[in-house]
Every structure is written in C-alpha cells, then in structure tokens.
A and B are shown apart, each in its own frame.
Chain A
Amino acid sequence: DIQMTQSPSSLSASVGDRLTITCRASHNIARYLNWYQQRPGKAPNLLIHAASTLQSGVPSRFSGSGSGTDFTLTISSLQPEDSASYFCQQSNSIPWTFGQGTKVEIK
C-alpha cells in the first residue's frame, strides 16, 4: 500500500497569511494526488485533483503542485472560512489512501 504522510499535523495562522501543507507519498504516484477540505461537522470537499487542477468553484487562492512523491497545497491568503482539516489522497493505485490530515486554525 502507498503511505501518505502530511505535515504539519496542525497549524495556526492569521487571516491573510500564506500557508503551505506538504504531502509525501511512500512510492512514486506521478501526479495522481488529490486534496480535500473538511470543515467541522461536514463532509470532505474536493479542492484539487491531479496535483494541480482546481475543482470548479474552488477559490483561486488554493493551488497545488508537485509530482512523484512530494506535493504541496498552498493557500495564498488565508481566509476565515479556510478553518478546516485538509487531506491529501493518492489515486495512483488501489487501495486509495489518504494522509492523516492537517488541521488549520485561524488565530
């Protein structure tokens, strides 16, 4: 199975800050990497697929990059509604696996 490791596990930042979350895969997954946002008490929501393709309706302050084993999710200017947990997920091979999540809090 491909293991997905996110860092950090949690962070606290201010509105307007630039934020980067890292995801590392245990094997080469090319660009089969997806990012989800999960607000408290809600279902996950797909933000980015194929490492850098923004889903329709997702604000442009979100961006993704990377390939192979190392990937990043960047929020260019943190907004209050971005307070949530973020999960990476590989879709290179079954079983599809998720990172453990990064909890983002607003100071």
Chain B
Amino acid sequence: EVQLLESGGGFVQPGGSLRLSCAASGFTFSRYAMSWVRQAPGKGLEWVSSINNDGSSTYYADSVKVRFTISRDNSRNTLYLQMDSLRAEDTALYYCAKDPVGTMVVGYFDPWGQGTLVTVSS
C-alpha cells in the first residue's frame, strides 16, 4: 500500500523558513514524479510544485517561485519542500502527492498524504 507521510509543518513568523518532508513507502519512489499541493483553511486546492523522478526537472507556481525549493532524496525515499520568505498567504495544509503514471510530471495526483499544517503569522 502506498503511504505518504508529511512532516515539518508548524508556526512561523512572516519572513521565516520551514522545510517540509514527505516520507514515501509502498512503491519504488525513484520511479515516480512527486508534487506538493496546498489548501488554505476552508479554501480550495492550489498546486505548489512538482519534481520528476530523478530531480532533474522542477516546476513551481508563480506564487512560490524563487521562495520555495522542491527536492528529493531517492536513497531516503523522501520528498522535500524548502520554504523561505514565508508570507501570511502561505498559511495552508500542505499535501504531498504521487504522480500516478511514472517518471515524468503529468500534472495529476494519486494518492495524497494527509498533509502538514503551516501557519505563518506574527
């Protein structure tokens, strides 16, 4: 069974940084693209970033470009999201999601982890 377990969320002041992790199991992690999608409290879904299977290609929403960095460690079966210069509008539940197809990013997501909450506030 595929499992995705996010961690690293928390409370941070504007301008601060956080690093999210997503531990994957139940599949060959190095063979699949991965993504981060977020959901502000009571709001809809917003794609944040995606990475192909070997980390050579990364993609970002304009709202986080330059501030966020996606990466992966295939030896540790772990996906990361480094978030710098955080803003109040980054407050959200951050989901890690697997690409259902394979090595390249195809832009849809299955399955999703349970999410880790990031709160940016002074």
Q: Which of B59, B95, B100, B106 contacts A44 (CB 8 A)?
A: B95
**Which residues of B are found within 8 Å of A46, using beta-carbon distances?**
100, 108-111
**Which residues of A are found within 8 Å of B37, using beta-carbon distances?**
44
Q: Which of A92, A98, A99, A100 contacts B47 (CB 8 A)?
A: A98
Q: Which of B46, B59, B108, B113 contacts A94 (CB 8 A)?
A: B59
Bound state CA distance, A49 and B100, in angstroms? 10
Return the chain A residue nearest B107 by Cβ: A91
Asked if A14 is an interface residue, CB under 8 A from chain B, the answer is no
Chain A: interface residue total (CB-CB under 8 A): 23
Bound state CA distance, A107 and B100, in angstroms? 35
Nearest chain B CB to A40's CB is how many angstroms away? 11
Among residues 34 to 61 in chain B, which have CB atoms less than 8 Å away from a CB atom of chain A? 37, 44-47, 50, 59, 61
Q: Are B95 and A43 in contact (CB under 8 A)?
A: yes
Q: Are B115 and A98 in contact (CB under 8 A)?
A: no
**Which residues of A are found within 8 Å of B106, using beta-carbon distances?**
91
A residues near B (Cβ < 8 Å) are 32, 34, 36, 42-46, 49, 55, 87, 89-92, 94-101
- Taking A36-B45, A87-B44, A89-B45 as known contacts, 16 extra A-B pairs with beta carbons closer than 8 A to each other, sorted by chain A number, are A32-B107, A34-B108, A43-B114, A44-B112, A45-B110, A46-B108, A46-B110, A87-B45, A90-B107, A91-B108, A96-B47, A96-B107, A97-B47, A98-B45, A101-B44, A101-B45
